[in-house]
Amino acid sequence: MYQVAVLAFDGVFASALTGVVDLLTLAGVTWNRIQGEPLDRQFQVKIVSWDGNPVRCTPAIRMAVDGSIDQIERVDLVVVPTIGARIEDVLQQQKQVLPWLQKMHANGADLASNCTGAFLLAEAGLLDNRTATTHWGFSQQFRRRYPAVNLQERELITRDENIFCAGGGIAWRDLCILLVERYCGQDRARELARAFVIDVRNDLQSVYAGLPAHTYHQDEQVHTVQAWIHEHFHEPTSLAQLAEKVHISPRQLQRRFTSALGEPPLQYLQRVRIEAARKMLERGNSNLARLSEQVGYQDVSSFSRLFKRHTGLSPSHYRQRFARTGALND
């Protein structure tokens, strides 16, 4: 059997931890039970914390573990689940696990993270100059802290050699199916997905993404431009006009806006418009010509191409998939 260590820590998201353990432990088990075949367990999974003591998950669930990281010398796979608590606090509290993650990687183990668990891999320096993903809502924070990482927050799952990262939420399900396929083959992965009724997709994470809820910069002039964009995104504008509102040059605004938010102002404006369009489509708006005008685009085909580039879906497909109906739309 393949040996797996799942890292537990105070502030770990409970369902991401237990879900990974369930899926990997039951590969070759649940499907075989359904089919009346002999069990053929594929993975031996251990939950470990840095000191072997129980951890307090988010939400407030106390969970026992199988041992400490010092008891794990060599495994085939290490999984780092989602950080559910304040990320900076967990990184500070879990400094002891970073050398162990580095050691496991040096010993040839595959490493896999889900959602914000990628912060721990990056904190250990294991994602430097590698492609990775994390929850879209924490991408700006990740980029600022780990500029050497090639972050692709639009992707649901990334792989760079033997390091795998899954995006936000319950992407751990897709990650586990991928890992089962890596170790056990397509048939076993397909059986596991069918047994647990998992619809394995190749969506971009950007299908689910919105604008970050918070910004973490202190540039008041950039805040002023942001506020104007959010209120007047449907109006035509230019970089020069935005810069004039805060009495600085377009070049200065471009530089300061990009420094504060990781993207230039007109690209940010595009994202605000796309987010507004997403909300309208989720409410069932069907007239694409009118919708595109309402978010600042006169040409429907240009708007549709831009929308698909940002979300991975055309406006019509997005509406079909995410429009709220019935009581949910009331």
Does residue 194 sit in the same domain as residue 228? no
Q: How far is residue 200's CA from residue 111's CA, in Å, rounded to a whole number?
A: 21
- 156, 188: one domain: yes
Q: 138 or 320: which carries more pLDDT confidence?
A: 138
Question: Tens digit of pLDDT for each residue in 125-153?
Answer: 999 999 999 998 999 899 999 999 999 98
Cβ distance 103 to 85 under 8 Å?
Answer: no
What is the predicted pLDDT for the residue at 313?
86
Residues 142 and 112 in one domain: yes
The pLDDT > 90 percentage for the chain reads 72
pLDDT for position 310: 84
Domain end call among 174, 207, 240? 207
Return d(Cα 200, Cα 181) in angstroms, integer.
12
- What pLDDT does residue 214 have? 45
Residues 185 and 73 in one domain: yes
pLDDT band at 199 (very low <50, low <70, confident <90, very high): confident
Per-residue pLDDT, averaged over 201-225, amounts to: 68
| 160 and 246 belong to one structural domain | no
Q: Identify the three-state secondary structure at position 144.
A: helix
Report if residue 215 sits inside a domain.
no
CATH number of the domain within which 152 lies: 3.40.50.880
The segment with the largest mean pLDDT, out of 116-125, 166-175, 272-281, is 116-125
153 & 254 share domain: no
Q: Would you state the pLDDT for residue 309?
A: 86
pTM of the model: 0.70
Residue-number span of the structural domain to which 245 is assigned: 220-329
Residue at 212 is within a domain:
no
Residue-level pLDDT at 328: 37
Two tokens, residue 47 = 């939950």
Please state which of the ranges 3-7, 98-102, 211-215, 284-288 shows the lowest mean pLDDT: 211-215
Domain identity same for 183 and 34: yes
199 and 232 part of one domain: no
The interaxial angle of helices 265-282 and 250-261, nearest 10 deg, is 60
Banded pLDDT at 190 (limits 50, 70, 90): confident
CATH code assigned at 272: 1.10.10.60
181 in any annotated domain: yes
Q: Please count the structural domains in the chain.
A: 2
Asked if the peptide bond before residue 59 counts as cis, ω within 30 degrees of 0, the response is: yes
Backbone torsion region of residue 283, taken as left when φ is above 0, otherwise alpha when ψ lies between -120 and 50, otherwise beta: alpha
Q: Are residues 158 and 264 in the same domain?
A: no
Count H helices and E strands in the chain, helices first.
15, 11
Task: Report the first-to-last Cα separation within the chain, whole angstroms.
Answer: 51
Quote the pLDDT of residue 22.
97
**Domain end residue (candidates: 207, 241, 270):** 207
